[in-house]
């Protein structure tokens, strides 16, 4: 089996408490059951060994928050000894400390993806549940770049009702900070996002205009942007900004409780939904639709099929998408997307 990327969750402990956090319920459950919410260093090393044996190209280390572990750099070095590239997903707060940031920057095959949820300090701090986190995260980004990580710092923003009206300004901030690329993700209503669904998860229809403004701004600023879990009908003329079109088909996900050997398949067949009307859409085979939890909270009649050139004719060649030239996606052989079709009745 081909493996490109292995995504290893090292544990659930974190120094933030985000109100959209998808693992918060798993952390509470594990702490109640076992009193421990993190893998041991030995367990993590075993998973890294396995990634090496599978000939993976990259390892993503994520949590929780990996940088607060005492063995963080040991784990990073071990991962780098087994694969070409390691990506650290982090809230970036530890890089506020210069020596820590300097050491991180010295690993030339390591990249970091840092969560930044708003250009407004009070909003970012409210979302993370940690006063002062905006200051530490933004200074952390500046420190990494100062110490030489310029092209190796990416950003990650989770959309919510708290930040959805200033996404464009947050893209501007990311550019100012020197971030090379930004992933903007629609919230997956698990963990805290499920508990806070009404305050957290917006409707696609309510964020569409801001998303389009934000994409245009990213083009003006030459900041690489991609958007996660946004159906293609909400990205008119910018379809190739959908991150799912550039994700590897060969990703292994190692959560604390289970392993998904083919995360793409799990995402498409279990975690995503399309409406019955999607069968009439030109993009039916290349679009993943919405998270299943979204469909539980809202009716999905807002998904609007893109007219087919001929009845039953689906677009398969990504080069035919309007934005391919300005924002290309890798042309790899793709499985037909097999997202579950909702049986719920659609009220037009």
Residues engaged in binding ligand SF4 (CB under 6 A)? 231-233, 274, 278, 281, 283-284, 287, 289, 303-306
C-beta closer to ligand SF4: residue 97 or 314: 314
C-beta closer to ligand SF4: residue 46 or 301: 301
As a whole number of angstroms, the distance between CA 298 and CA 138 comes to 34
C-beta closer to ligand SF4: residue 7 or 244: 244
Sign of CA dihedral 239, 241, 244, 249: positive
Cis peptide preceding 64, ω within 30 of 0: yes
In whole angstroms, the minimum distance from the beta carbon of 255 to ligand SF4 comes to: 27
In whole angstroms, the minimum distance from the beta carbon of 77 to ligand SF4 comes to: 42
Sign of CA dihedral 226, 283, 292, 61: negative
As a whole number of angstroms, the distance between CA 172 and CA 220 comes to 10
In whole angstroms, the minimum distance from the beta carbon of 239 to ligand SF4 comes to: 8
C-beta closer to ligand SF4: residue 51 or 303: 303
In whole angstroms, the minimum distance from the beta carbon of 283 to ligand SF4 comes to: 4
DSSP letter for each residue of 237-260: T-GGGBGGGGS-S-EEEE-SS-EE
Nearest to 138 by CA among 109, 117, 159, 168: 117
Is the distance from CB of 5 to CB of 54 less than 8 angstroms? Answer: no
In whole angstroms, the minimum distance from the beta carbon of 124 to ligand SF4 comes to: 30
C-beta closer to ligand SF4: residue 177 or 227: 227
């Amino acid at each position: 089996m081909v493996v490109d990327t292995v995504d290893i969750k090292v544990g659930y402990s974190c120094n933030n408490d985000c109100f959209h956090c998808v693992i918060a319920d798993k952390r509470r459950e594990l702490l109640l059951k076992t009193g421990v919410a993190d893998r041991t260093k030995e367990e993590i090393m075993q998973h890294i060994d396995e990634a090496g044996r599978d000939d993976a190209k990259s390892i993503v280390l994520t949590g929780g928050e990996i940088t607060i572990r005492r063995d963080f750099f040991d784990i990073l070095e071990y991962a780098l000894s087994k694969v070409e590239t390691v990506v650290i997903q982090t809230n970036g707060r530890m890089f506020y400390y210069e020596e820590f940031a300097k050491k991180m920057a010295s690993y030339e095959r390591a990249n970091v993806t840092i969560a930044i949820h708003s250009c407004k300090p009070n909003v970012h701090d409210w979302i993370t549940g940690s006063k002062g986190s905006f200051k530490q995260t933004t200074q952390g980004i500046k420190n990494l770049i100062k110490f030489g990580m310029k092209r190796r710092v990416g950003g990650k923003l989770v959309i919510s009702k708290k930040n959805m009206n200033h996404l464009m300004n947050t893209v501007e901030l990311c550019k100012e900070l020197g971030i090379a690329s930004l992933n903007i993700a629609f919230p997956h209503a698990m963990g805290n996002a499920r508990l806070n669904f009404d305050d957290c998860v917006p409707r696609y229809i309510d964020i569409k205009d801001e998303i389009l403004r934000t994409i245009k701004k990213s083009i003006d600023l030459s900041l690489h942007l991609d958007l996660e879990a946004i159906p293609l009908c909400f990205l008119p003329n910018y379809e190739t900004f959908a991150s799912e079109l550039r994700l590897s088909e060969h990703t292994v996900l190692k959560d604390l409780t289970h392993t998904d050997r083919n995360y793409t398949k799990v995402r498409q067949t279990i975690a995503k939904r399309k409406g019955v009307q999607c069968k009439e859409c030109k993009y039916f085979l290349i679009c993943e639709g919405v998270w299943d939890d979204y469909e539980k909270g809202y009716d999905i009649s807002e998904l609007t099929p893109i007219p087919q050139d001929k009845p039953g004719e689906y677009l398969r060649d990504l080069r035919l998408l309007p934005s391919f030239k300005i924002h290309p996606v890798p042309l790899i052989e793709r499985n037909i997307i097999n997202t579950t079709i909702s049986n719920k009745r659609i009220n037009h």
